[in-house]
């Protein structure tokens, strides 16, 4: 069925888009084209070559180079492709056969999320990488992926396990993961990933000096406090340390949940969750130990997207809709044939 294939393909493209977005951000190419949606008002880097050359000549150490412009524009092209695919999904969802199966509300809500995500992408550039905007852009990307994975699970008929899964525990796990990803985005967008360069302590202390107020003041410029002063080392340390503490809590919870899932008839799903948590936690440690190499930092973002996808599938399988679909999937397949 074309609709099902389109949902699956769009989900994969969205995962790749999140990874590419992380690469663009972490390689400092977010302002490779200082306007939006084009590059110096042009449709491609090739057409904007003269403008880029002038900007690079005027400021050789600035954010604009040909390589960074290509990174940024490739990300925009992929984002545009994902947006068009999501519009097609929504259109198909409103057609009578598809509407009769599941209803179009989720696909329609996905369009609204993508529109907001596009605005965050624009504001990321036009507002010069404000931490709140860039973090919102990351959250929007993960939300888009989560909704698409839910659509995939619904279309592919993820079967319910032989025993009922702990729904409340699964929901709480997803909430905790979402909060931890938001914290991770705040670390990245404030360039606080190496504020604590040692392990397992931070600057040789269990509880180093920290400025919590300025660390989590949302409305401010990059690298500045709300009053316009330079953001202190203590504030960056608070951001980083909060993410570390969150990692310990969330990892422990999700590992326990994975063990519990393995004991309720979903051994494979529980094993995948445990493996993904251990991989993500190891990547976080490695990023600090090796001073944030680009490849490991990008993989850490990919690991977060993988965990989101797994937890959405877990929550879908734990919900009543999965149990209903497992009994009606054969009937739907026969009708589609």
Share of the chain above pLDDT 70, in %: 92
Pair 259, 270: CB distance under 8 Å: yes
**Active-site residue 72, yes or no?**
yes
Q: Quick: pLDDT tens for 198-235.
A: 999 999 999 999 999 999 999 999 999 999 999 999 99
* Nearest-angstrom CA–CA distance, 72 and 137: 14
Cβ neighbours, 10 Å, residue 31: 17
Q: What does residue 133 show for φ and ψ, rounded to 5 degrees? A: -70, -45
Q: What does residue 120 show for φ and ψ, rounded to 5 degrees? A: -60, -40
Pair 154, 332: CB distance under 8 Å: no
pTM for this model (two decimals): 0.91
Q: From the candidates 72, 205, 221, 333, give the one annotated as an active-site residue.
A: 72
* Nearest-angstrom CA–CA distance, 143 and 273: 19
Q: Label residue 333 by pLDDT band (50, 70, 90).
A: very low
Is the pLDDT score of 336 beyond 80? no
Q: Please tell me the predicted confidence (pLDDT) of residue 335.
A: 32
Is the pLDDT score of 99 beyond 90? no
Q: What is the DSSP track for 276-324?
A: HHHHHHHHHHHHHHTT--HHHHHHHHHHHHHHHHHHHHHHHHHSHHHHH
């Amino acid at each position: 069925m074309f609709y099902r294939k389109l949902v699956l393909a769009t989900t994969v493209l969205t995962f790749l888009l999140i990874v590419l977005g992380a690469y663009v951000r972490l390689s400092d190419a977010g302002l490779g084209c200082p306007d939006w949606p084009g590059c110096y008002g042009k449709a491609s880097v090739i057409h904007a070559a003269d403008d880029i050359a002038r900007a690079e000549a005027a400021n050789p150490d600035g954010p604009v180079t040909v390589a960074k412009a290509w990174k940024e524009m490739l990300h925009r092209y992929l984002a545009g492709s994902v947006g068009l695919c999501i519009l097609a999904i929504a259109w198909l969802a409103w057609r009578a056969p598809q509407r009769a199966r599941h209803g179009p509300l989720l696909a329609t809500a996905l369009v609204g999320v993508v529109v907001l995500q596009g605005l965050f992408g624009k504001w990321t550039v036009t507002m010069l990488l404000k931490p709140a905007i860039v973090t919102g852009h990351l959250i929007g990307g993960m939300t888009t992926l989560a909704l698409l994975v839910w659509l995939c699970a619904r279309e592919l008929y993820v079967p319910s396990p032989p025993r009922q899964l702990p729904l409340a525990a699964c929901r709480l796990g997803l909430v905790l993961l979402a909060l931890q990803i938001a914290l991770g985005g705040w670390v990245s967008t404030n360039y606080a990933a190496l504020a604590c360069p040692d392990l397992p302590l931070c600057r040789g202390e269990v509880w180093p000096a920290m400025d919590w107020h300025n660390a989590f003041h949302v409305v401010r410029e990059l690298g500045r406090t709300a009053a316009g002063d330079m953001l202190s080392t203590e504030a960056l340390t608070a951001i980083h340390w909060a993410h570390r503490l969150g990692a310990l809590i969330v990892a422990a919870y999700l590992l326990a949940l994975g063990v519990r899932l393995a004991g309720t008839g979903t051994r494979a799903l529980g094993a995948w969750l445990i493996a993904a948590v251990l991989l993500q936690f190891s990547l976080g440690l490695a990023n600090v130990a090796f001073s944030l190499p680009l490849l490991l930092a990008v993989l850490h973002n990919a690991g977060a997207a993988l965990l989101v996808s797994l937890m959405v599938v877990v929550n879908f399988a734990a919900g009543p809709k999965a149990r209903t679909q497992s009994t009606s999937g054969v009937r739907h397949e026969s009708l589609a044939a």
